[in-house]
Amino acid sequence: MNLFNRILVTLLLLALIPIVTVVLIVPHEAIQVVGDWLDDLDERVDDSISTGRLLIGGVIAVLVDALLVFLVYLQVRRSSKKTVPVQKIKAGEAQIAVSSIVERLEYSVDRLDGILSVQPKISPERRGVAVTLDVEITSEVDMTSKIEEISGVVRQVVEDEMGLKLKGKPKLNLRAVTYPEPLPLSESGAVDFYTPEDEAEVEPWASDVAESEPTE
Protein backbone atom coordinates (compact mmCIF):
# COMPACT_ATOMS: atom_id res chain seq x y z
CA MET A 1 0.00 0.00 0.00
CA ASN A 2 2.88 2.40 0.66
CA LEU A 3 4.14 1.90 -2.89
CA PHE A 4 0.66 2.58 -4.28
CA ASN A 5 0.42 5.76 -2.20
CA ARG A 6 3.75 7.03 -3.53
CA ILE A 7 2.78 6.32 -7.13
CA LEU A 8 -0.63 7.98 -6.74
CA VAL A 9 0.75 11.10 -5.04
CA THR A 10 3.52 11.39 -7.63
CA LEU A 11 1.05 11.26 -10.53
CA LEU A 12 -1.23 13.82 -8.90
CA LEU A 13 1.66 16.21 -8.27
CA LEU A 14 2.90 15.86 -11.85
CA ALA A 15 -0.59 16.61 -13.13
CA LEU A 16 -1.00 19.63 -10.84
CA ILE A 17 2.26 21.28 -11.90
CA PRO A 18 1.13 22.38 -15.42
CA ILE A 19 -2.43 23.11 -14.26
CA VAL A 20 -1.35 25.39 -11.44
CA THR A 21 1.23 27.08 -13.70
CA VAL A 22 -1.32 27.89 -16.39
CA VAL A 23 -3.99 29.08 -13.92
CA LEU A 24 -1.57 31.41 -12.14
CA ILE A 25 -0.09 32.90 -15.31
CA VAL A 26 -3.26 33.33 -17.41
CA PRO A 27 -6.19 32.79 -15.03
CA HIS A 28 -8.83 34.47 -17.25
CA GLU A 29 -8.01 32.38 -20.31
CA ALA A 30 -7.82 29.19 -18.25
CA ILE A 31 -11.24 29.80 -16.72
CA GLN A 32 -12.66 30.59 -20.17
CA VAL A 33 -11.33 27.32 -21.62
CA VAL A 34 -12.76 25.31 -18.75
CA GLY A 35 -16.13 27.11 -19.07
CA ASP A 36 -16.34 26.41 -22.82
CA TRP A 37 -15.49 22.74 -22.23
CA LEU A 38 -18.19 22.44 -19.58
CA ASP A 39 -20.80 24.12 -21.82
CA ASP A 40 -19.96 21.73 -24.68
CA LEU A 41 -20.15 18.75 -22.32
CA ASP A 42 -23.53 19.93 -21.01
CA GLU A 43 -24.96 20.15 -24.55
CA ARG A 44 -23.76 16.64 -25.40
CA VAL A 45 -25.28 15.22 -22.22
CA ASP A 46 -28.63 16.89 -22.92
CA ASP A 47 -28.67 15.45 -26.45
CA SER A 48 -27.91 11.91 -25.31
CA ILE A 49 -30.29 11.55 -22.35
CA SER A 50 -31.95 8.12 -22.47
CA THR A 51 -32.82 5.21 -20.24
CA GLY A 52 -29.85 3.18 -21.46
CA ARG A 53 -27.40 6.00 -20.83
CA LEU A 54 -28.76 6.54 -17.35
CA LEU A 55 -28.44 2.83 -16.59
CA ILE A 56 -24.87 2.63 -17.87
CA GLY A 57 -23.95 5.81 -16.03
CA GLY A 58 -25.44 4.46 -12.82
CA VAL A 59 -23.45 1.20 -13.07
CA ILE A 60 -20.20 3.06 -13.77
CA ALA A 61 -20.89 5.44 -10.87
CA VAL A 62 -21.43 2.52 -8.48
CA LEU A 63 -18.17 0.86 -9.58
CA VAL A 64 -16.18 4.07 -9.26
CA ASP A 65 -17.68 4.83 -5.86
CA ALA A 66 -16.88 1.32 -4.65
CA LEU A 67 -13.28 1.70 -5.82
CA LEU A 68 -12.93 5.06 -4.07
CA VAL A 69 -14.42 3.71 -0.83
CA PHE A 70 -11.99 0.78 -0.97
CA LEU A 71 -9.06 3.16 -1.44
CA VAL A 72 -10.24 5.26 1.50
CA TYR A 73 -10.46 2.11 3.63
CA LEU A 74 -6.91 1.16 2.72
CA GLN A 75 -5.75 4.62 3.73
CA VAL A 76 -7.45 4.79 7.13
CA ARG A 77 -7.14 1.16 8.27
CA ARG A 78 -4.57 0.37 10.93
CA SER A 79 -1.72 -1.64 9.48
CA SER A 80 -0.42 -4.54 11.53
CA LYS A 81 2.89 -3.87 13.23
CA LYS A 82 5.73 -6.28 12.53
CA THR A 83 7.96 -5.13 15.38
CA VAL A 84 7.51 -4.20 19.03
CA PRO A 85 9.75 -1.69 20.89
CA VAL A 86 11.63 -3.04 23.89
CA GLN A 87 10.72 -0.93 26.92
CA LYS A 88 12.87 -2.37 29.69
CA ILE A 89 16.22 -1.10 28.44
CA LYS A 90 18.01 2.16 29.25
CA ALA A 91 21.17 1.94 27.17
CA GLY A 92 19.42 2.46 23.82
CA GLU A 93 16.46 1.57 21.64
CA ALA A 94 15.55 -1.84 20.24
CA GLN A 95 12.79 -3.49 18.28
CA ILE A 96 11.75 -7.15 18.46
CA ALA A 97 10.01 -8.82 15.54
CA VAL A 98 6.53 -10.17 16.26
CA SER A 99 7.55 -13.46 14.65
CA SER A 100 10.34 -13.82 17.22
CA ILE A 101 7.86 -13.41 20.08
CA VAL A 102 5.61 -16.03 18.52
CA GLU A 103 8.46 -18.51 18.12
CA ARG A 104 9.74 -17.98 21.68
CA LEU A 105 6.29 -18.45 23.20
CA GLU A 106 5.60 -21.50 21.07
CA TYR A 107 8.89 -23.08 22.12
CA SER A 108 8.50 -22.32 25.84
CA VAL A 109 4.84 -23.36 26.21
CA ASP A 110 5.22 -26.49 24.07
CA ARG A 111 7.84 -27.82 26.52
CA LEU A 112 5.30 -28.02 29.35
CA ASP A 113 3.84 -31.39 30.30
CA GLY A 114 0.51 -32.23 28.72
CA ILE A 115 0.81 -29.69 25.88
CA LEU A 116 0.07 -31.15 22.44
CA SER A 117 0.20 -28.00 20.32
CA VAL A 118 0.25 -24.23 20.79
CA GLN A 119 -0.38 -21.34 18.39
CA PRO A 120 0.46 -17.87 19.81
CA LYS A 121 -1.08 -14.69 18.40
CA ILE A 122 0.58 -11.34 19.16
CA SER A 123 -1.18 -7.96 18.95
CA PRO A 124 1.14 -4.97 19.55
CA GLU A 125 -0.77 -2.11 21.18
CA ARG A 126 0.07 1.20 22.83
CA ARG A 127 -0.02 -0.08 26.39
CA GLY A 128 1.84 -3.30 25.70
CA VAL A 129 1.60 -6.62 23.92
CA ALA A 130 -1.65 -8.56 23.94
CA VAL A 131 -1.09 -12.33 23.80
CA THR A 132 -3.61 -14.97 22.76
CA LEU A 133 -2.79 -18.68 22.78
CA ASP A 134 -4.68 -21.51 21.12
CA VAL A 135 -3.57 -24.56 23.10
CA GLU A 136 -4.35 -28.27 22.79
CA ILE A 137 -3.79 -30.31 25.94
CA THR A 138 -4.37 -33.91 26.95
CA SER A 139 -7.67 -34.63 28.70
CA GLU A 140 -5.87 -35.94 31.80
CA VAL A 141 -4.37 -32.54 32.60
CA ASP A 142 -5.93 -30.40 35.33
CA MET A 143 -7.03 -27.29 33.43
CA THR A 144 -6.95 -24.87 36.35
CA SER A 145 -3.36 -25.56 37.27
CA LYS A 146 -2.32 -25.74 33.61
CA ILE A 147 -3.84 -22.31 32.90
CA GLU A 148 -1.84 -20.81 35.76
CA GLU A 149 1.32 -22.53 34.55
CA ILE A 150 0.92 -21.34 30.95
CA SER A 151 0.10 -17.78 32.04
CA GLY A 152 3.22 -17.72 34.19
CA VAL A 153 5.39 -18.91 31.32
CA VAL A 154 3.91 -16.28 28.98
CA ARG A 155 4.59 -13.48 31.46
CA GLN A 156 8.12 -14.72 32.10
CA VAL A 157 8.94 -14.91 28.38
CA VAL A 158 7.35 -11.59 27.37
CA GLU A 159 8.40 -9.42 30.30
CA ASP A 160 11.46 -11.02 31.91
CA GLU A 161 13.21 -12.60 28.92
CA MET A 162 12.24 -10.23 26.09
CA GLY A 163 11.86 -6.97 28.03
CA LEU A 164 8.36 -6.20 26.74
CA LYS A 165 5.25 -5.09 28.56
CA LEU A 166 2.37 -7.54 28.67
CA LYS A 167 -1.04 -5.90 28.33
CA GLY A 168 -3.34 -7.45 30.89
CA LYS A 169 -3.50 -11.20 31.24
CA PRO A 170 -2.83 -13.59 28.36
CA LYS A 171 -5.96 -14.99 26.74
CA LEU A 172 -5.94 -18.78 26.55
CA ASN A 173 -8.18 -20.87 24.32
CA LEU A 174 -7.78 -24.44 25.57
CA ARG A 175 -8.96 -27.61 23.89
CA ALA A 176 -8.68 -30.99 25.62
CA VAL A 177 -7.92 -33.92 23.32
CA THR A 178 -8.62 -37.56 24.19
CA TYR A 179 -6.59 -40.24 22.44
CA PRO A 180 -7.67 -43.89 22.02
CA GLU A 181 -6.21 -46.69 24.14
CA PRO A 182 -2.84 -48.05 22.88
CA LEU A 183 -2.59 -51.42 21.11
CA PRO A 184 -2.06 -54.46 23.36
CA LEU A 185 1.49 -55.70 23.84
CA SER A 186 2.75 -59.20 23.18
CA GLU A 187 4.66 -61.29 25.70
CA SER A 188 7.93 -59.75 24.51
CA GLY A 189 6.65 -56.25 25.30
CA ALA A 190 6.26 -55.18 21.67
CA VAL A 191 3.04 -54.23 19.91
CA ASP A 192 1.38 -57.37 18.52
CA PHE A 193 1.19 -56.69 14.75
CA TYR A 194 0.33 -59.12 11.96
CA THR A 195 3.56 -60.70 10.65
CA PRO A 196 4.54 -62.84 7.63
CA GLU A 197 4.85 -65.83 10.01
CA ASP A 198 1.19 -65.47 10.84
CA GLU A 199 0.39 -65.51 7.15
CA ALA A 200 2.35 -68.79 6.74
CA GLU A 201 0.29 -70.36 9.51
CA VAL A 202 -2.99 -69.20 7.98
CA GLU A 203 -2.36 -70.35 4.41
CA PRO A 204 -2.55 -74.19 5.05
CA TRP A 205 -5.76 -73.72 7.03
CA ALA A 206 -7.24 -71.59 4.26
CA SER A 207 -6.33 -74.17 1.59
CA ASP A 208 -7.92 -77.01 3.60
CA VAL A 209 -11.12 -75.04 3.95
CA ALA A 210 -11.16 -74.31 0.24
CA GLU A 211 -10.75 -78.02 -0.61
CA SER A 212 -13.53 -79.07 1.75
CA GLU A 213 -16.05 -76.66 0.17
CA PRO A 214 -18.31 -78.37 -2.42
CA THR A 215 -17.96 -77.19 -5.96
CA GLU A 216 -20.96 -76.58 -8.22
Instruction: Write the pLDDT tens digit of every residue in 117-140.
Output: 999 999 888 778 899 999 999 988
Beta strands, E only, the chain: 83-85, 95-97, 115-125, 128-138, 171-177
Residue 185: inside a domain: no
Crossing angle (nearest 10°) for helices 27-47 and 2-25: 110
Range of the domain at 25: 2-76
pTM of the complete model: 0.52
Do 104 and 164 lie in one domain? The reply is yes
Q: Is residue 59 part of a domain?
A: yes
Residues 88 and 68 in one domain: no
Single out the residue in 30, 53, 76 at which a domain terminates: 76
CATH number, domain at 91?
A: 3.30.300.30
> What does the pLDDT look like over 65-107, one tens digit per residue?
888 888 777 777 766 678 888 877 777 788 888 999 999 999 9
